[in-house]
Chain A
Amino acid sequence: MTSPLLSIQDLTITAQLAGETRTLIDHVSLDLAQGEILGLVGESGSGKSMICRSLVQLLPSRAIKISGGAVMFEGRDLTTLDEATMSTIRGSEIGMIFQNPTSHLDPVMRVGDQIAEGIRYHQGASRAEAKKAAIQILQQVGLPDPTRQHDNYAHEFSGGMRQRVMIGVALSCNPKILIADEPTTALDVTVQAQILRLLLDIRDQRGLSIILITHDLGIVAQTCDSIAVLRGGKLLEHGPKRSLLAAPKDPYTIDLIASHPSMPAPGGDAPEEKPQAAPPIRTPSAPLLEIDDLVVRFPASGNGLFSGTGKFVTAVNGASLQVMHGDTIGIVGESGSGKSTLARAILGLTPLTSGHVTFDGIDLALHRAKALAHLRRETAMVFQDPYNALNPRLTVGDMLAEVLKVQNKTTGDKLQSRINELLDLVGLERAFAGRKPSTMSGGQCQRAGIARALAVDPRLIVADECVAALDVTIQAQIIDLFRDLKQKMNLTLIFIAHDLAIVRNLCERVVVMHRGTIVEQGRSDEIFANPGHPYTAALISAIPDINPDKRLARLDQVLQAEQVVFSMGDEFPATINKITTRELSL
């Protein structure tokens, strides 16, 4: 290999916290060649973002310092440069894009001006020249109408389009290295495929090097040339993509590859004995839950005394679904497809506009009070964001005790033993009863959330994107927990996810939602093998596979129509998830 463009040598970063010195990055050495895409993989906290921030000296706190090693870039050691020299490097030599483009774009500045700003600052171009260059860049990052969209603001774009603009801003100064920090984590799977494709195209056109930070090995397998696996600040393994994926040496890497919920190759999943492969024999009985032609609409804007435009957003449009006792049903679809709204409507948390939801024979639309009382005692929900789902002021024990008391499940002496039992069930140590969510990790919080759901002794659990905010390895653990609980407790589970691989892994039946309607439903293996609806096919082909030879499908044809909708931004703002699905700013 020729001499690398960027060479990280023995980089060590330490933090001074309350008198102790902690090593965050421990003697990491990496090389990045011209035109190479390097994937940094690891869980959150593994130090992958920290390394990249240290390259441009944007460490998150003053207490954190580079205490050893060097970062060689074009003959200079970046760790020794002063602030003034560094600011000429940032942007013009090393560009960055982030996970959440919404918070990294200036909301009150036209996107074109944000791109032009860098061109004028770093290259000294005139206003008119910069504008012309900006439009060109917008075209390059794939905006359909760059001349018009130059004058738009960030909020007028959808998430994928914003990420494109963000890439445009990073490209504006013609950097030699682009650092992409989880660029697609906040995006839907089809949009993710487009953005990854864009990054590859840009690399080919401009010959720049990219450092791609991600937790998804599938993305790495599809886009990167070499992979570096990090854990706890240490570089576990580093090497070319194919050899590393084919023959991982470190046990953690092996584990990571094994836990990747990638689609097993068609016909290749025979050795995996799936417990749900044989459908349980069902006595022909009434379904536990029946949804019939359900419509849920929200007022499009304000509902004050004089405001209210009379316009409505239809989140769920004529959905019908039957859930039998003991079923595990996955609902998949992109953000804004109405899957969360459907879940909340089932549990009576959102008013129904029309149609019927019948739980255990009681119609929610006709006998609302009776049905609600029944629902509250027989169903429970698990939420997306594990931190937001737990009251930060209550300890786990208090939280569970309250549910048990209010629902009159257990009282007095048995309370403590029941709490212990619940903690055992979800795999939390009993000592967690005394802890508050702020002292727990995301995975632990999610387990506590599941324990709260189980405290109700529910017959039906609705899990809304409950693993989306977690690291891959933790995701796999939570999925295993659900599978385990389902068998032990004979639960009925409605599992909402954007990640098709997870749904396929866990659910026997799958329901595909698109713009408020159910476009397809049936047995998972059948749907994944022979998708009947083009939208389902598009979703499936957009998943980055861990096998680098299974190329990311070109989605352009399928998604031509979609793209128009995506660029219109707020066409489907009906999603309930306040942070865009799958994005957790912690």
Chain B
Amino acid sequence: MSTVHVSDWNLRWSRWLGQRVTLAAGVSILALFIFAAIAAPLIAPYDPIVHNSELRLVPPSLFHPFGTDNFGRDILSRVIWATRIDLQIAFLGVIFPFLIGTILGTISGYFGGMVDIIFMRLIDVVLAFPFLVLMLSIIAILGPGLSSFYIAMALVGWVSYARLIRTQMLVLKNSDYAVAAVSLGFSNSRIMFRHLLPNAIAGSIVFSMSDAVLVLLNGAAISYLGLGVQPPLAEWGVMVAEGQSFISTAWWITFFPGLSIVVLAFGLSLLGDGLSETLGARQ
């Protein structure tokens, strides 16, 4: 696989990567999108916002590989610019629920008793409402826009993470090394966050990848309903919504942003699978 000259670290790294093709594929797809987001001004051939009435609804061609929309904007450029917003949605829409859920789940599982009962009933209440209905009503109260979307995600999405972590905590807090930590006089917060959480969190990290896919689709759905990203800003969900009325005559308006969602979702799923292999094996 490698020559003798390759350093030990490199050898291990390449072997590690070689064993985990899924992970590598997921990372590459995500890297591609991150590159597109960062380099958007450099690689996007046209301005994503400016209208050009002479170039309306041009089908995919050499100059416009993804075609143009009803305002004459280049779809490829818009898809590239939209990467910025969609990655932001996937990241921020996951990180807040992840943090809140992890902390509450850790506390709930570790201490048990009354604290646990209260948190678990709270989770039951949140879960009692259909996910999208709850989100839509929160966004409706806060007013449309991405920040409302993030707040709604944080308020609704944390329950899954809290449950995952809590279950792990319930198991781990009875493990011998947790008992050992207690017997050595370590403080509760040290045991919880330094000893137990790193061992409990693998499942949540894997879940967060597939959760990012759902958040992405939710973000697209919210934007599609006009409650998220507002036109003329480019976002894949918005673009799909805009192209909907031309679906029979100009399929490319809907198709390429939709394809981007699918590919990114696919990449995140691969990443999640790959991570679960890596983290699950514990080195």
Binding site for B on A (CB under 8 A): 18-19, 304-305, 344, 347, 349, 373, 376-377, 379-381, 383-385, 388-394, 402-403, 406-407, 436, 438, 449, 452, 456, 578
Kindly list chain A residues whose C-beta atoms are within 8 Å of the C-beta of B184.
376, 380, 403, 406-407, 452, 456
B71 part of interface (Cβ distance < 8 Å) = no
Q: How far is the CA of A504 from the CA of B148 in the complex (A)?
A: 70
CB of B182 within 8 A of CB of A349, answer yes
B249 part of interface (Cβ distance < 8 Å) = no
CB of B186 within 8 A of CB of A381, answer no
Q: Do A383 and B176 contact each other (CB < 8 Å), given the known contacts A349-B182, A376-B185, A438-B282?
A: yes
B195 part of interface (Cβ distance < 8 Å) = yes
User: What's the nearest-Cβ distance from chain B to residue A364, in Å?
Assistant: 13
Kindly list chain B residues whose C-beta atoms are within 8 Å of the C-beta of A403.
184
List which B163-203 residues lie within 8 A (CB) of chain A.
174-177, 179-187, 190, 194-195, 198-199
Choose from B15, B183, B190, B194 the contact partner of A349 (Cβ within 8 Å). B183
User: What's the nearest-Cβ distance from chain B to residue A173, in Å?
Assistant: 37
CB of A384 within 8 A of CB of B176, answer yes
Describe B's contact surface by its main secondary structure.
helix
CB of A388 within 8 A of CB of B185, answer no
B117 part of interface (Cβ distance < 8 Å) = yes
Kindly list chain B residues whose C-beta atoms are within 8 Å of the C-beta of A379.
183
Kindly list chain A residues whose C-beta atoms are within 8 Å of the C-beta of B282.
392, 438
CB of A383 within 8 A of CB of B180, answer yes
Kindly list chain A residues whose C-beta atoms are within 8 Å of the C-beta of B174.
578
Kindly list chain A residues whose C-beta atoms are within 8 Å of the C-beta of B190.
406
User: What's the nearest-Cβ distance from chain A to residue B50, in Å?
Assistant: 53
Binding site for A on B (CB under 8 A): 1, 15, 117, 174-177, 179-187, 190, 194-195, 198-199, 282-283
Q: How far is the CA of A297 from the CA of B189 in the complex (A)?
A: 28
Q: In the complex, what residue of chain B is closest to A383 when comparing beta carbons?
A: B176
Q: Do A373 and B185 contact each other (CB < 8 Å), given the known contacts A389-B176, A391-B199?
A: yes
Pull 11 A–B residue pairs with CB atoms less than 8 Å apart, ordered by A: A373-B185, A376-B183, A380-B184, A381-B183, A389-B180, A391-B177, A392-B282, A403-B184, A406-B185, A407-B184, A449-B180
Kindly list chain A residues whose C-beta atoms are within 8 Å of the C-beta of B186.
402, 406
Q: In the complex, what residue of chain A is closest to B185 when comparing beta carbons?
A: A376
Kindly list chain A residues whose C-beta atoms are within 8 Å of the C-beta of B1.
19
Kindly list chain A residues whose C-beta atoms are within 8 Å of the C-beta of B176.
383-385, 388-389
Q: Closest 4 interchain pairs by CB?
A: A376-B185, A389-B176, A383-B176, A388-B176
Q: In the complex, what residue of chain B is closest to A347 when comparing beta carbons?
A: B183
Listed residue (B177, B186, B282) with the most chain A CB atoms within 10 angstroms of its CB? B177
Q: How far is the CA of A349 from the CA of B184 in the complex (A)?
A: 11
Q: How far is the CA of A377 from the CA of B183 in the complex (A)?
A: 9
Q: How far is the CA of A389 from the CA of B199 in the complex (A)?
A: 13
Q: Do A18 and B15 contact each other (CB < 8 Å), given the known contacts A392-B282, A578-B174?
A: yes
Listed residue (B176, B182, B194) with the most chain A CB atoms within 10 angstroms of its CB? B176
Kindly list chain B residues whose C-beta atoms are within 8 Å of the C-beta of A18.
15
Q: How far is the CA of A80 from the CA of B174 in the complex (A)?
A: 48
Kindly list chain A residues whose C-beta atoms are within 8 Å of the C-beta of B181.
391
CB of B15 within 8 A of CB of A381, answer no
